[in-house]
Every structure is written in C-alpha cells, then in structure tokens.
C-alpha cells in the first residue's frame, strides 16, 4: 500500500479523544505513553500510575526532578492539583477492583473475542515481565488497546485466537491502530472508523477475523498537521 498509515503519535492523538473530562485513567507502555500529550487543553484527566500515584502530571522539567516522584517507568514526573499517593495494594485495588474509568495498553495481539497478549513475544530472550498489565486488563471497565495494525513483518495482530502468551481473556473494549478504530462487541469486531484515505476493505485485508460494518465507515478525526 502506498498510502500513509497513521504514525504512532497519530494513534496516540486519536486515542486521546476517547478520554472524557475528569476520567481516572491508566496508560501503559509504548504508544499509550504518548497519549497524555494529546489530551485537549480543556480536558482534565487524572492519570493513575501503578507505583502509587493518582493525578500524575507531565514529566518533571530538567533540574526539577525528584527521584521519589517517578512513574512506573522510572521517569520523574509532577502532580496535578488533587493528586494522591498510596501503597501498591491500593494502586491495584484501583486497577483490579474496577475503579478506574479507562485503561489504555499496548498490544502484541488482540483476538476476535477481546483476548489480549501484550507481555511476551514467544522465544524472546530474558525473563519477560508481567508488571501491572494483568491486573489492569482484568479490572478495566473500558480497556483500549493502541498498537500498529500489523507487525513489522506484516503479520496480522488482530487475530481469531492469540498464539502469544495471554495477558487476560475477553478484556479489550476498543482497538485503536494506524488503520482503524475497532470495537469488540458480543457479536464480533465492529469497524467504527478507518484511517484517512483507507477503505473498510483495505482494513479487512490486514485483519484476520471478519470485521462488521455497514455501508460507509467514517474516517478518523485527526488534527491537521
């Protein structure tokens, strides 16, 4: 295909539109980590960091870092008004207990029924790491997965059944990729939006399970570059 798929930044920009004002939100590693920068100025999001912060603000400015105030990736951050600290147990009472409004994670594979695989590539070196991903996936009221629609070698990442180690079963609500926005519904995957310039048929060709859509599928709304 010669048409340009969305960049990782644009996937983040589109995903940011899923966040309503005032929401409690956890962002995972990878593309989700880019999303905070795209939250509209009139929207306040209370970001949860699983090491024990609710109300995490932007990265700390150079010279103002406090290494006791870091996110789960060890990055020095700041707080927004209304923020709170708590222990690891409370951090995951919030995730597993279903108290967060929206969680956004990266993905290696998502299945037709909303299973997520995102913590280990089979055969990879090293021990791997689960971190908070399983607790977050199981507990999320609404779980959005942001990822490239296909792997670098062209393999489809939206599949009938995952063959990578699973993070959680039947947990994904919505998938935002460089080609589409897809909702996981009881009767299958519903194609909600396509990337500008792409047709539903082109998205279907890059997706293993059957996508459900009517006649016209709207294009994603993105800011003009």
Partner 1 sequence: MNRKDRVFASVDHAVADIPDGATIMFGGFGGAGFPNNLIQGLARRGVRNLSAISNNCGTGDGELGILFKNRQIRHVVAAFPGPGATYFQQQFDAGEVELELVPQGILCERMRAFGAGIPAFYSPVGVGTDVAKGKEERVIRGKRYILEQALGADYAFIKAQRADRMGNLVYRKAARNFNPIMATAAKITIVEVDEVVEIGTMDPETIVTPSIFVDRIVVAKGIHNV
Choices 1-9, 64-72, 152-160, 192-200; region in contact with partner 1 by CB under 8 A: 64-72
Bridge partner residues of 176 (DSSP):
146, 181
CA distances from 53 to 58, 139, 199, 224 (A): 13, 18, 42, 34
Contact 19, 45 (CB under 8 A): yes
Judged by CB, which is closer to partner 1: 96, or 142?
96
CA distances from 157 to 33, 84, 108 (A): 20, 37, 6
Choices 5-13, 101-109, 130-138, 182-190; region in contact with partner 1 by CB under 8 A: 130-138
Q: Which residues contact 97 (CB under 8 A, 6 or more apart)?
A: 139
Contact 222, 10 (CB under 8 A): yes
- Does 60 interact with partner 1 (rule: CB under 8 A)? no
- Does 68 interact with partner 1 (rule: CB under 8 A)? yes
Choices 18-26, 38-46, 128-136, 207-215; region in contact with partner 1 by CB under 8 A: 128-136
Site string for partner 1, 79-98 (x = CB under 8 A): ------xxxxx-xx--xx--
Which of 13, 18, 50, 112 is flagged as catalytic? 50
Site string for partner 1, 163-202 (x = CB under 8 A): --xxxxx---------------------------------
For the chain, how big is the Rg over CA atoms in Å? Answer: 17
- Does 132 interact with partner 1 (rule: CB under 8 A)? yes
- 219 catalytic per annotation: no
Pairing of strands 174-176, 116-117: unpaired
- Does 69 interact with partner 1 (rule: CB under 8 A)? yes
Q: Which residues are catalytic, by number?
A: 50
């Amino acid at each position: 295909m010669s048409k340009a798929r969305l960049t990782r930044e644009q996937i983040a920009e589109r995903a940011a539109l899923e966040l309503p004002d005032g929401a409690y939100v956890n962002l995972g590693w990878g593309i989700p980590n880019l999303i905070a920068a795209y939250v509209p100025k009139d929207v306040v999001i209370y970001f949860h960091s699983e090491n024990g912060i609710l109300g995490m603000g932007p990265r700390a400015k150079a010279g103002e870092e406090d290494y006791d105030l870091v996110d789960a990736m060890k990055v020095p951050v700041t707080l927004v008004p209304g923020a709170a600290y708590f222990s690891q147990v409370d951090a995951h009472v919030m995730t597993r207990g279903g108290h967060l409004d929206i969680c956004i994670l990266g993905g290696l594979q998502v299945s037709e029924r909303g299973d997520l695989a995102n913590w280990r590539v089979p055969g990879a070196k090293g021990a791997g790491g689960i971190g908070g991903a399983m607790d977050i996936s199981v507990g999320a009221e609404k779980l959005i997965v942001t990822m490239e629609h296909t792997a670098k070698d062209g393999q489809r990442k939206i599949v009938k059944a995952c063959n990578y180690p699973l993070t959680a079963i039947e947990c994904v609500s919505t998938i935002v990729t460089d080609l589409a926005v897809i909702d996981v519904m009881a009767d299958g995957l519903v194609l909600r939006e396509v990337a500008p310039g792409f047709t539903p048929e082109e998205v279907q060709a890059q997706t293993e399970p059957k996508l459900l859509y009517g006649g016209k599928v709207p294009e994603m709304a993105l800011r003009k570059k």
